[in-house]
Structure 1
Amino acid sequence: MPASLIAYCGPAAIPQDFWLRWNTDPLLLAALAALAFVIARGRSADASAGWAALALMVVVFVSPLCALSSALFSARVTHHIILIAAVAPLLARAFPLPHLPWPPLAPVVAAHAIVVWLWHAPGPYAWALATVPAYWLMQVTLLGSAWLMWRSILAPWVQTGAALMALVATIGQMGLLGALIVFSPRPLYVVHFASTAAWGLTPLADQQLAGLLMWVLAMIPYLAAGLWITWSSLRAREPAL
């Protein structure tokens, strides 16, 4: 992979050095430490969710998964799934920020879908790997739009039907995107041509694996959230004994 196409996570990880490729960026570690301080001081609405979100952020940004995502598109998609389907809802529970405005749910869901599709188009995706500012723009917009969506879905005043429709719409649009990636007859993400061989994959196989992850694996957190919302709604309707 040309050096000009390597962004924040650095050169593509290879099997021989994978477990040595931890990210020790001082600014990132300081930001994570600041978040830990806020949670420890009791400033979050749900400390357990806050700590879980922090742990997952360490996985996606500090652990060797970061360097692996420079090598494999499938690793980058895994990174994105964790970010938008696990970190975002946990942060929405830990930091709902109820004093901020609550935009209508449908536009928020649509905006998040646009952001997801934009950053998984070959051109914007390659650009996000080209510079550190572009990389962080991708991360912030993915996480921020997902947080806004989950914040509305998990809001106690949102009707169960509306929340479930939002989850179904998100599963649908991500499944469609994953299917398009899986069934593409040629590699679209040419930035990874030189790095997939070390992991025993062709660029097309890596791309197909990424599409399957987005199509199948990514729906699990949304289905789980839907079941939890439905169960909570039914429990709330039960008459008190």
Structure 2
Amino acid sequence: MYLLPYEFSWLAVVFFGGTGLLFVRGQRVLAQAGTPLPGWRIALFWLGFVLAYSVMHTQFDYFAQFMFFIHRIQHLVLHHLAAILLMASNPWKVLSAGFPEGRTKHIVARALSSRVIQIPYRIIQFPPLAGFIFVGLIFFWLMPEVHFKAMLSQPLYLVMNWSMFLDGILFWWLILDPRSPVRAKTLSFGKRIIVIWFVTVPQLGLGAYIVTSPANLYDIYDLCGRAWPIAPHDDQVLGGVLTWIPPGMMGVLVMVVLLRRMLHQSEQTKVRPA
């Protein structure tokens, strides 16, 4: 059955199961408190949630391990599409509300606000470094020798997929944080657009290189066999196109959202003095 995991993972069960339960409970708590979550935010969260789970813990993962272009769809979802949808839903307040009240919640809150967590988080989220890590992970896992080892080692394969997903969440939260940059002292909208360009252009170049390369860069799929009878070059070209075009389109869409927020903030600034 398609929905059954190709390779069972307790990490996926705990992460997605726990997150889903917290969100459902948080929705109910907020609704009872008189501050129900807007429908569009609920839709964005569950769409991103289902997409991420589907490519990581269903039979889709089988095809991702035996077809290069399916693997690129998997990472496109984890690093871009699902992460963008989840962060656009701004789920943190809901997840916090869903956590049962008590000593455990207090301990977790204190731990998250401690210097041990906050200092590394701020370093990782320093915009130039965040952008470098974001695009660097794509290049790193697509280095032929690294990719070869990752596809043969189940632990390394899991590290590859989870690192892409978690980094996507961190990066797109930096970009899509809905708080006012002035009030919350977060990254300005203009700088966020620059960061998107910073990570998009190298990825476009990488995708173009994979598409136009005459060499068979990822021969691991020849060694292990492909799930479908497709020529190695065609598989590589499709994977290169998916690395090249869709991420650029998503980057443009996010920039449109940021421009809209920038205009909205500008209008509010003009209205206040009057």
- TM bin, normalised by shorter chain, reads 0.7 to 0.9
Tell me if the contact between 1:160 and 1:229 (Cα under 8 Å) persists in the aligned partners.
Answer: yes
Give secondary structure in 1 for the equivalent of 2:66: coil
Q: CA deviation at 1:215?
A: 0.7
SS of the residue aligned with 1:23? coil
After superposition, the CA RMSD in angstroms is: 2.6
How many angstroms apart in 2 are the aligned matches of 1:169 and 1:58?
A: 28
Q: 1:94 deviation in Å? A: 2.2
Aligned residue pairs total 222
- The one-letter code sitting in structure 2 at the alignment partner of 1:171 is T
Shift of 1:190: 0.6
1:116: which partner in 2? 138
**Does residue 58 of structure 2 align to residue 58 of structure 1?**
no
Contact 1:39–1:50 (8 Å) recurs in 2: no
Q: In percent, how many aligned pairs have the same letter?
A: 19
Q: Secondary structure at the match of 2:213?
A: coil
Counterpart pick for 1:148 among 149, 155, 170? 170
1:181 aligns with 2:210: yes
Partner residue of 1:223? 252
Following superposition of structure 1 onto structure 2, how do residues 81-230 of structure 1 map, counting pairs within 5 Å?
81-92=76-87, 93-95=90-92, 99=113, 100=118, 101-102=121-122, 103-155=125-177, 156=179, 157=181, 158-193=187-222, 195-196=225-226, 199-230=228-259
> Alpha-carbon deviation of 1:237?
1.6
CA distance in structure 2 between the aligned counterparts of 1:95 and 1:150, rounded to whole angstroms: 14
Deviations 1:125-153 (A, max 9, x none): 11111122101110122122222221211
| Paired residue type of 1:140 | W
Shift of the 132–200 alpha-carbon distance from structure 1 to 2, 3 Å rule, reads: closer
Greater per-residue helix proportion: 2
* 1:155-199 CA distance string (max 9 Å, x none): 332211111111112211111110111111111111111534x63
Cα gap change, 1:120/1:95 in structure 2, threshold over 3 Å: closer, same or farther?
farther
Q: Deviations over 1:28-63 (max 9, x none)?
A: 334322111111121899544432221112221233
Q: Distance in 2 between matches of 1:26 and 1:208?
A: 31
The answer (yes or no) to whether the contact 1:57–1:83 under 8 Å persists in 2 is: yes
Alignment-derived partner of residue 33 in structure 2: none
Q: Out of 23, 27, 38, which is 2:22 matched to?
A: 38
Q: Is the 8 A contact 1:105 1:153 kept in 2?
A: no
Kept after mapping to 1: 8 A contact 2:9/2:57: no
TM score, norm. by length of structure 1: 0.82
Report the residue type matching 2:91 in the other structure: A
Whose Rg is larger? 2
Distance 1:115 1:49 in 2: 25
CA–CA distance in structure 2, aligned partners of residues 234 and 20 of structure 1: 44
CA distance in 1 between counterparts of 2:136 and 2:200 reads 14
TM-score of the pair, normalised by structure 2: 0.72
Q: Distance in 1 between matches of 2:3 and 2:218?
A: 23
Q: Is the 8 A contact 1:35 1:54 kept in 2?
A: no
Structure 1 alignment gaps of length 5 or more: 1-18
Structure 1 residues 172 and 94: alpha-carbon distance in aligned structure 2, compared to 1, 3 A threshold: same
Q: Which amino acid aligns with 1:86?
A: L
Partner of 1:13: none
